[in-house]
Amino acid sequence: MKTDDAVFLLIALPLAGAACVLIGTLLRSNRAKQVVSSIGSFLALGAVWLPLAELARLVHAGQTFSGTIGGWISDMGIQYQFDGLALLVIALGMVLAIPSWLYSRSLKIDHQVFDCIFYIQSGFLAAIAITADIFNLFVCLEVLGMTSYVLIVFSKKPQAYMASLSYLLVSAASMLIYLLGVYVIYNVTGSLSYTEIAVRIQQAELLYRQEVVIGLALMVSAIALRVAVVPVYGWLPDAHAMAPHPVSAILSGVLIKTPLFVLLRLVVLFPEQELIGKAFALCGGITALLGVLLALSQSDAKLLLAYHSVSQIGFIVAAWGSSLAVGVGTPAGIALMAASFLHALFHGVFKGVLFLSVGTAVSAAGNRNVYTLRGAGRYLAGNGIQPFVVLASFGAGALSITALPPWSGYFSKNLIVYLVRDPLLTGMLTLASIGTVASFMKLSRIFLPTRSTDAADYSDNIPCLATESEDAPFLPEKSAHIKSLAEDEMDIQPTRNILWALALGAVLCLAGGILGSFLFKASSELLALWIGRGSELSVKGAVSPAGMHAAPSFYNGSVLIKTLLMLAWGSVVFGVLQFKLVQNILHRIAMRHRTFSGLFLAFFAGAAGLVIFLFSF
């Protein structure tokens, strides 16, 4: 077997796993069923690490794998390329798949169908990372989209069907806009493969700048919808909040990041990359701030977390855009891109942990409202789930997202704020960090021991919730003792898998914080290898390993003082939130009317804005 084939194993093994699981459904005996689906799981989640490890070794030694699938001539066939960037993106997905899959064992669903779709998704996450063909990118995006629509509705809530349908319609329409972009680019360059396009764009740029810019803007805005930046984030919160907990974790952790880093490959083919970078950096800053503001106004615990995903993707996109704006091949650009990737990875881990731990708590309590749910630990214990592990992993996730040392977010968030030079952007990101602190103080209260005043206070403030809290069955002070929910009322089974998944996630949070500098160095090197390979692409600047940024240390006085200040300001914001007036305003924001047409309007406003922005320079 050639080493090139190892690249395809990354896609083939998860798909073979999915096939095994499907074959398992046909078998009569339960034992055979179990054996076959275990083989499938092993192929999809375990065996796939072997080719990845081998490829990582070869890529690190400076090799890249590229060519045409099936040996067709390069103009006709589908091009692929496996390099440092692909390695990073695939690793991100595979690391997060394990805790999510473990947790999904305790969902009350049809496991075989779930697993099958989950493995198809893993396979296509690898496929999208190595594709070097704009039409194949479309196919991969559509398949990833379809798997996530189906995974969302595994929670069987009517809200989930609605959220998934909204996501489906807006994303399918945006994908057709992407196809229009492909049409325009194909018209100008006569090719679909990245390398050919890069070469021909440079020749065609003078004659056909208008067409190129429009085609690029159409494709970029369609992919931006998947990344969920402002103004096209509207579909995300409902979809992520209504999905089953492990699916929320994988959607927030992986599926909004992968398109962003895949977009990087596409954008560097075009001379307009710096402008796109500037636009994305600005959008990222606004996304970070707006996401946190909306998160503060939410009362649903999982919706709050989903808005935090919007906010954190803002940090990632801000660093991503700044990197393109300074030139992704320059030392500063590589450092920013590595920081962006690290935050994507760490966010995937800690947001996964948060979704799983908070999800477990709200499932056990049967109440998702952060204002009325108190004493979640007792509900957990009452339902046979070890509360300590859930609380500890929630703590790990919350400390990571609020960027406290030594947890993973501390390194990546400080790195982004340190590397982004633009004062406006730094300001927005700092404000967003402060809001994150306040928001997690609010969310942490669900684990507080029962106190009668909180809930009573709130029901005084917000009239429309008062009726609910009077007859709310789960309000702690009303129920004499904590009853465990009936077996069929909770949507999860209290098995050990929950605890293993949570513990694994919490350990990864800590590991990320401790190994931060090492991971930063490794991902910078891999990105530099990707850029070095792409010398025929119009990547600005070329970096030598010696010229790369060393990983800064954030364990010095000034950063620690800044962190303390951020905590202090966060507490102040949290205090301000307790005022009636502020709560009323936030309640208005949370209950704002969100229409379906608004999603489309935002998308087209965004696409038009991008075209105008690109033409104005």
Partner 1 sequence: MNEFLLLALFLIGLGMVAIDKNIIKKVIGLGFMNNAVVLLFVIRGAGIGEKAAILATGTENIVDPLPQALMLTAIVISVCITALSLGFAYKLFMQFGTFDIDEIKTRLEHENR
Using CB under 8 A as the criterion, which residues of the chain lie in contact with partner 1 when the complex forms? 76, 135, 138-139, 142, 146, 149-150, 153, 158-159, 161-162, 164-165, 168-169, 172-173, 176, 179-180, 183, 186-187, 192, 300, 464-465, 468, 591, 594-597, 600-601
Smallest separation, CB 175 to partner 1 (Å): 8
- Could you tell me the smallest distance in angstroms from the CB atom of residue 599 to partner 1? 8
Residue 139 beta carbon to partner 1: minimum distance, rounded to whole angstroms: 6
Nearer to partner 1 among residue 324 and residue 607 (C-beta): 607
Place of tokens 């806009």: 177
CB 380 within 8 A of CB 390: yes
In the complex, minimum distance from the CB of residue 390 to partner 1, in angstroms, rounded to a whole number: 24
DSSP H helices, 234-272, are 236-242, 245-250, 258-267
Q: How far is the CB of 20 from partner 1 (least distance, A)?
A: 22
- Alpha-carbon separation of residue 447 from 73, 392, 444 (angstroms): 61, 11, 6
Which residues are paired to 133 by β-bridges? 193
The dihedral built from the CA positions of residue 482, 486, 490 and 492, taken in this order, carries a sign that is positive
- If the CB atoms of residues 92 and 241 are measured against partner 1, the closer one turns out to be 241
In the complex, what is the shortest distance from the CB of residue 533 to partner 1, in angstroms, rounded to a whole number?
Answer: 26
Give the residue among 308, 260, 245 at the shortest CA–CA distance from 505.
245
Q: Taking the complex as a whole, how short is the minimal distance between the CB of residue 468 and partner 1, in angstroms?
A: 7
In DSSP terms, 589 is beta-bridged to: none
Minimum CB separation from partner 1 for residue 299, in Å? 9
Least Å distance, CB 80 to partner 1, is 16
Q: Which of 505, 549, 542 is nearest to 523 (CA)?
A: 549
CB of 177 to partner 1, least distance (A): 9
Least distance to partner 1, CB of residue 173, Å = 5
Confirm if 298 and 590 have CB atoms less than 8 A apart: yes
* Residue closer to partner 1 (CB basis): 104 or 148: 148
| Closer residue to partner 1 in complex, CB, 515/591 | 591
Q: How far is the CB of 170 from partner 1 (least distance, A)?
A: 8
Four-residue CA torsion sign, 391, 393, 397, 400: positive
The tokens 């205090």 sit on which residue?
575
Q: Which structure tokens are listed for 75?
A: 């103009």
> Residue for token digits 């996401």?
291
Phi, psi angles (nearest 5°) of residue 272: -80, 10
Q: Which is nearer to partner 1, 42 or 135 (CB)?
A: 135
Q: Pick between residue 500 and residue 596 the one whose CB is nearest to partner 1.
A: 596
In angstroms, the CA 482 to CA 485 distance is 9
Cβ neighbour number for residue 93 with a 10 Å cutoff: 22
Angle of the 258-267 helix axis to the 111-130 helix axis, nearest 10: 20
Q: How far is the CB of 155 from partner 1 (least distance, A)?
A: 12
Q: How many CA atoms lie within 13 A of 343 on its CB side?
A: 28
- Which residues face 302 on adjacent strands? none
By C-beta, is 149 or 261 nearer to partner 1? 149
Beta carbons of 182 and 211 less than 8 angstroms apart: no
Nearer to partner 1, 139 or 542 (CB): 139
What residue type is assigned to position 10 of the chain?
L
Of the pair 247, 324, the CB lying nearest partner 1 is at: 247
Toward partner 1, which CB reaches closer, 38 or 467? 467
Do 557 and 593 touch, CB atoms closer than 8 A? Answer: no
- What tokens were used for 468? 């609910």
Q: Could you check whether the bond before residue 473 is cis, i.e. omega within 30 degrees of 0?
A: no
Residue 132 or 501: which CB sits closer to partner 1?
132
CB of 517 to partner 1, least distance (A): 43
Using CA atoms, how far residue 157 sits from 133, 360, 391, in Å, is 38, 17, 26
CA distance 62 to 99: 31
Q: How far is the CB of 217 from partner 1 (least distance, A)?
A: 17
- Compare residues 191 and 497 and give the one whose CB is closer to partner 1: 191
Query: Helices 49-60 and 84-104, interaxial angle, to 10°?
Result: 160
Structure-block tokens of residue 402: 């609020």
Q: Which is nearer to partner 1, 453 or 595 (CB)?
A: 595
Q: What type of residue is 125?
A: L
Q: Which CB, 136 or 436, lies closer to partner 1?
A: 136
Q: Are 444 and 373 in contact (CB under 8 A)?
A: no
Query: What number of residues does the chain have?
Result: 617
Rounded least distance, CB 135 to partner 1, Å: 5
454 close to 445: Cβ distance less than 8 angstroms:
yes
Please say which residue, 165 or 510, places its beta carbon nearer to partner 1: 165
Q: Compute the distance between CA of residue 485 and CA of residue 246 in angstroms, rounded to an integer.
A: 21
- Select 142 or 477, whichever has its Cβ closest to partner 1: 142
- Which residues make Cβ contacts (< 8 Å) with residue 391, sequence separation at least 6? 357, 377, 447
Residue 125, CA distances (Å) to 30, 294, 468 in order: 31, 29, 43
